[in-house]
Structure 1
Amino acid sequence: MKITSLGGGHGLYQTLVGARLCEPESITAIVTVADDGGSSGRIRRELGIIPPGDLRMALAALAADDAHGTMWAETLQHRFGGNGALAGHAVGNLLIAGLTSVLGSEQAALDAVADLTRSHGRVLPMCNEPLEIEADVSGLDDDPRIIRPVRGQVAVATTPGTVRRVRLIPDRPEASPAAVEAILDADLVTIGPGSWFSSVIPHLLVPGIVDALNQTSALKAVLLNLSAEPGETQGFSSERHLHMLSQHAPSLTIDRILVDVHTIPTASERAYLDRAACTLGASVELVDVRLEDAEGRMTNRHDPAKLCATLRQIHRVARTPGADD
């Protein structure tokens, strides 16, 4: 199968590692481009290019399994220490920025790094321009009814208030044509997990991405987070995560919602989640995808091997009539 995965940050990294284990015909990562913090933010402000951090992480996740690929993956992720001008910069961010200047485009730079790492797949920005995120946030004043705008991915991700809605600046940006093509050509499309308002929902604010998701014949699966995140989604239930998707992209249709079985302890919560999934045209699959540590304790990360098994299963069932009988 051909797998296309939408997201950003550590959530997309884990998904891509799981997708690799499926040994598909192709893997394409479509990555959000609104980061404004750390090394990526500094490069973005100084050079005016797409922030490279989430793109770098996707390239590291897809690097070849041999010693050559491992060396390059570690090099891409390595950060300079000290207190000088390079402090905090990731080598991969600087490499992508330098290649962009030499080759004339961010996509050419990403493809060149993929060649270096003997990548299992291709990494694409969702848009070919850097974007900003702005959120409507409540709870920043004594009166909880007051809504204030908060701008910037880092500010949105760390706000002590409750995020009600997010938007992109500029509004309704044009999708990368290559990203649209990868969605339309896929057999399986994954969305999430990741920072809901800064890594997942931004994809759904790009009209061309939503149109491609609704037009593709691929099986479309949303991977829910294992827990709410401090700041962005503190106190959010699984049901509310889905409501946020339909609120930001009312026309969006999805096929499967993949939820770790350990996160839905009661039948009533499952019923609420089923109803929320119906608004997206989806069915809920309770699966075991949580990573265990060496002592057998559950962690807050997705297990790539379990994720691979789940993706294979839902794809097999969807493509084989009667396979789930």
Structure 2
Amino acid sequence: MSTTIRAGTPASTGGAVRGGPVGAWTSRLLAFNVVAESLIVVTGGVVRLTGSGLGCPTWPQCVPGSYVPVVEQEEGFHKYIEFGNRTLTGFVGLVALAALVAVLRARRPDLLRWVAPLLLGILAQALIGGIVVHTDLAPVTVVLHFLVSAVLVAVSTALWMRAREAPGPRRSAVRAEVRHLARFTALVAAVVIVLGTLVTGSGPHSGDADSPSRLPLDPRTVSWLHADVVMAFCGLVIGCVVALRLAGAGRAAQRRGVELLVVTLAQGTIGYVQYFTGLPEVLVAAHMAGACVLVVAVTRLLLALTEPVAAAPRPPAATVS
């Protein structure tokens, strides 16, 4: 069923819409939640790059009988790196709970559609982390661990951006053709990220310093495939920027298209430099951080494809299904 909404139509026809754009404090909290979700990806990368994946060889305890590292452990400094990442997971969970409280206090029940999967995803991440440890860093579980984090970064971004807007009906902010192009570009971005995890999983940074475990793939072939898809993605992003401009999309959508292009070019540059310099740990970590920024940028563009009905008057009718 679709609803046709014209400029000047009240934002709600079924009663008063509770709440409004959240306050500055709540907006900052939700933005910090995005940073926290991204930070745990980076610290997880540090665990992998330093070979500290089994620094705490058991889960949920670090070692049998203790939830924290003990002096007698054989894992050396690796135990502190792995324990630090586990501790950050708990902190991220607390931030998400704070976000839930802030959303409820702001009287924005519509935002629960983003908070709920965020909380469930963090719980799932903790359980997946346990599986990673108990399977001795099986590459498939490590890949899943990262991909779930990428989804949580996207969900956190959606929560942050939607909280800054008024609740209620929305309408398309761009032409249908541009919307389809942007969504297809986002799909290719997902393929790029998945292939990136396969590159890492088949490369030298396996996560365990003593017993490397890698995907049974040729690193060079996977890297070339990843690079090819990245090139296609760059072309699509440029196409989005041009299409948004020519179709007269709103300034927010055009700006986010340019943001995505800048992030894509920066991330691509880091990727090529790290490949041709032998995958130095610092650049690999920067590339993982860039992947989070890319997810944020793609999500922001997708969210800009629609706008609240009351955001600005538009003469033509728009239909939102």
TM > 0.5: no
Is the radius of gyration larger for structure 1 or structure 2? Answer: 2
Query: TM-score with structure 1 length normalisation?
Result: 0.27
Query: TM-score with structure 2 length normalisation?
Result: 0.27
Greater strand content: 1
